[in-house]
Amino acid sequence: MESKPFSLLKTRRDFIRQAACAALGTTALSTVIRDLRFINAAMAQTPVNDYKALVCIFLSGGNDSNNLIIPKAPDEYQYYSTIRTPVLAIPRDSALDITSANPDGHSYGLHPNCPELRDLFVAGKLALLFNTGTLVYPLTRAQYYSGGFRKPPQLFSHSDQVTQWQTSLPDQPAVTGWGGRCADLLAAVQPDAQVSLSISVAGANTFETGNIQSQYSVSTSGAIALTGLSTNSAARLTAVTNIMNLTYPNLQAQAYSKVASHAIGTADLLNRAIAPTAGAGYWTQPFPSTTLGNQLKMGARRIAARTARNMKGEIFFCSVCGYDTHSNQTTVGDITTSAHPNLLGELRKSTVTFHEPK
């Protein structure tokens, strides 16, 4: 979604990018989140007149990244092919070359089902971050089994891996997610926001759990409101809250009444703001009618309505299942239509449409 140049914070963004790259090469991702406290202090002193959104697409089950990004140098491909033949290996000539935009001296290719992602990468609009994971420190196999090194608990458990990816703290109990911690730090930009900075289109999640900001869940159609109760029917809403207070005239009931009224009003505010983007004709590029496509369309609708909602930044969470493919990932000779290629097809169609929907 296009927006005005973020000139006031350009230098700060450059700092974040460089610091993040350095931190990820030497320490846990939690270091990067800790450094965001500097951003919070800077934002308190600098007016922010632009809008930026962070969108997390969580590939539930675990994407096989070794078949998304394929080494193409002859010796490196031979090693890859030896391990993955005969079923999983992507033919070297089928991988979509991205070497021209890569500065590290290696040759890589993307899965043949991702041509639009290759185009974004070559255009400098997509970045790939290698060698990341949930380990506390790099470990050899011998070190792992020695028991003398810190490592995530239950390293081979899917549920624990989900938690560790969403918290970025692999060796600590899950309390907050790194998206939620970012929202806590960035809340200073818009203290009067009427809706939370953390928006989920995939239900409750650990990623957006914060200490200050609470995640706000919506469906792919918008905020879920109570039937017949909205700010357009103020008399009915007032009657309901009055009944609650009259029937149970105590502090708990009154507090609940205020919460209910606020929830109804917030849902109505959001739904009215995104109403103009409901029609298919609003979008130059139609979103795929898939799980991820529908979630990203809702994200795009909310971003399009940012001015009406007076928002300066938001964090969105989307999730798509099915990446736990096991033996159904692919079949011999079928690199474009089996389970994993189909998932990658949904991913690239949805994300490319989201990148430039109008």
In sign, the C-alpha dihedral spanning 237, 242, 243, 244 is positive
Q: Two tokens at 124?
A: 């400098």
Phi, psi of 123 (to 5 degrees): -80, 0
| Residue 18 falls inside a structural domain | yes
Query: Tell me, what's the pLDDT at 241?
Result: 61
Question: Please, what is the Cα angle at 290 between 197 and 90, to 5 degrees?
Answer: 105
| Residue 271 falls inside a structural domain | yes
259: containing domain: 7-68+111-355
More confident residue, 63 or 136: 63
pTM of the predicted model, to two decimals?
A: 0.82
The SS3 call for residue 317 is strand
Residue 79 — pLDDT band, cuts 50, 70, 90?
Answer: very high
| Residue 171 falls inside a structural domain | yes
Residue 331 Ramachandran class (φ > 0 left, ψ -120 to 50 alpha, else beta): beta
Query: Tell me, what's the pLDDT at 157?
Result: 87
Cβ atoms of 180 and 213 within 8 Å: the answer is yes
Phi, psi of 214 (to 5 degrees): -105, 140
Q: Number of folded domains in the chain?
A: 1
Question: Please, what is the Cα angle at 296 between 291 and 302, to 5 degrees?
Answer: 135
Residue 243 has pLDDT above 70, yes or no: no
| Residue 88 falls inside a structural domain | no
More confident residue, 36 or 234: 234
Q: How far is Cα 224 from Cα 296, in angstroms, rounded to an integer?
A: 17
Q: How far is Cα 355 from Cα 124, in angstroms, rounded to an integer?
A: 13
Residue 3 has pLDDT above 60, yes or no: no
Residue 17 has pLDDT above 50, yes or no: no
| Residue 123 falls inside a structural domain | yes
Residue 91 has pLDDT above 60, yes or no: yes
Neighbours of 99 (CB within 10 A): 14
Query: Tell me, what's the pLDDT at 101?
Result: 66
| Residue 351 falls inside a structural domain | yes
Residue 291 — pLDDT band, cuts 50, 70, 90?
Answer: very high
Q: How far is Cα 139 from Cα 296, in angstroms, rounded to an integer?
A: 37
Over range 38-50, report the average pLDDT. Answer: 62
298: amino acid identity, one letter: M
Residue 193 has pLDDT above 50, yes or no: yes
In sign, the C-alpha dihedral spanning 190, 191, 193, 199 is positive
Residue 15 has pLDDT above 50, yes or no: no
| Residue 230 falls inside a structural domain | yes
More confident residue, 259 or 109: 109
Q: Two tokens at 1?
A: 């979604």
Is beta strand 313-320 parallel, antiparallel or unpaired with respect to 198-200?
parallel
| Residue 63 falls inside a structural domain | yes
Residue 109 has pLDDT above 90, yes or no: yes
Residue 221 Ramachandran class (φ > 0 left, ψ -120 to 50 alpha, else beta): alpha
Query: Tell me, what's the pLDDT at 257?
Result: 72
